[in-house]
Amino acid sequence: MGKSEEFPELSDTNWLCDFAFAVDIFSHMNELNVKLQGKDQFAHDMYTNVRAFKSKLVLFSRQMSNKSFAHFPTLAVQKEAARNAKKYCKSLDDLHREFCRRFCDFEKIDKSLQLVSCPLSQDPESAPQELQLELIDLQSDSVSKEKFKSLKLNDFYASLNETAFPNLRRTAQKMLVLFGSTYVCEQTFSVMKINKAHHRSKEIKMNSSTLPEV
């Protein structure tokens, strides 16, 4: 029995397109996975990677709608790629919406995360009132600037004088323990489940119906 008889899908150009799309999108997801697995990452660092991936999905969808497969090399060589582009655009848009839904909690506190992650570059006037004067003092302190460059984020805030920077320390403590890396990774990789191509439907479906609610 030849391969074409044992695996009839290999003779189906639409199935091959769906499979190629799955290969490429999983490749992009795996790249995100590697970035999220880095050590000593603050929640803001990981969410920055997630936010970047969301922007990439928007780019992918826009390019796909124009029959451009620059970032989908496996799909690009398939003969039926252009004809199926609309279907893949929808899959990418669905995936983007699911990422937005899963990480809506991060959107709400993104400014606070940015402040704690990069306090030296924050505009004191745009910060919460209780942090404004402390930010000015921090940004004017050359010793603190050097500590920020050399220490891990949690160690940096632990090194701040409790009397001089009580509110900054308190805010940082809340943000640093609010979300662990496990939470971020679980949310990311429960987002998308690609069903195996069925002999009858031969199409990829983004299945989020069985995912637990946050």
Q: Is 207 a member of any domain?
A: no
214 found inside a domain: no
pLDDT at residue 35 tops 90 = no
Q: What is the mean pLDDT of residues 54-79?
A: 97
Q: Is residue 195 part of a domain?
A: no
Number of domains in the chain: 2
Q: Give the residue, 149 or 5, on which the prediction is more confident.
A: 149
Q: Do the beta carbons of residue 16 and residue 30 sit within 8 Å?
A: no
Highest-pLDDT range among 114-118, 179-183, 205-209 = 114-118
Q: Domain check: are 142 and 161 in the same one?
A: yes
* For residue 48, pLDDT beyond 60: yes
Q: Determine the Cα–Cα distance for residues 147 and 45; give it in Å rounded to an integer.
A: 19
Q: What is the pTM of this model?
A: 0.72
pLDDT in tens, 99-137: 999 888 888 888 898 999 999 999 999 999 999 999 999
Residue-number span of the structural domain to which 20 is assigned: 11-106
The verdict on 97 and 119 lying in the same domain is no
Asked if the structure places residue 147 within a domain, the reply is: yes
Domain identity same for 19 and 92: yes
pLDDT on residue 186? 59
* Same structural domain, 86 and 158: no
* Residue 198 is assigned to a structural domain of this protein: no
Residue 5 has pLDDT above 70, yes or no: no
Listed residues 53, 79, 106: the one ending a domain: 106
| Whether residue 34 is found in the same domain as residue 75 | yes
pLDDT of residue 7: 58
Candidate from 44-58, 163-177, 193-207 with smallest mean pLDDT? 193-207
| Cβ-based burial of 97 (10 A; exposed 0-12, middle 13-18, buried ≥19) | middle
- Is there a domain that residue 45 lies in? yes
Say yes or no: 58 and 133 in one domain. Answer: no
Predicted pLDDT of residue 174: 87
| In a shared domain, residues 47 and 121 | no
Handedness of CA 203, 206, 208, 210 (dihedral sign): positive
Q: Is residue 79 part of a domain?
A: yes
Does one domain contain both 61 and 146? no
Please check whether residues 29 and 100 belong to one and the same domain: yes
Tokens of 165: 């920077």
CA distance 206 to 5: 29
User: Residue for token digits 């990439």?
Assistant: 56
> Contact at 8 Å (CB) between 153 and 43?
no
Q: Which of 52-66, 75-89, 105-119, 130-144 has the lowest mean pLDDT?
A: 105-119
Question: Which residue type does 157 have?
Answer: Y
Position 184 scores a pLDDT of 57
Q: Does 121 lie in the same domain as 83? A: no
Separation between Cα atoms, residue 176 and residue 171, nearest integer Å: 9
pLDDT number for residue 204: 44
Dist CA 82 CA 91 (whole Å): 15
What values do phi and psi take at 152, rounded to 5? -65, 155
- Kindly tell me if the per-residue pLDDT of 98 is higher than 70: yes
> Same domain, yes or no, for 91 and 116?
no
Write the CA distances from 128 to 97, 112, 125, integer angstroms.
30, 9, 8
Q: Is 64 domain-assigned?
A: yes
- Average predicted confidence (pLDDT) for the chain: 83
pLDDT value of position 206: 43
**Tens of pLDDT, residues 142-155:** 999 999 999 988 89
Strand ranges, E, within the chain? none
Q: Are 59 and 125 within one domain?
A: no
pLDDT at 110: 87
Angle at 107 between CA 168 and CA 185, to 5 degrees: 95
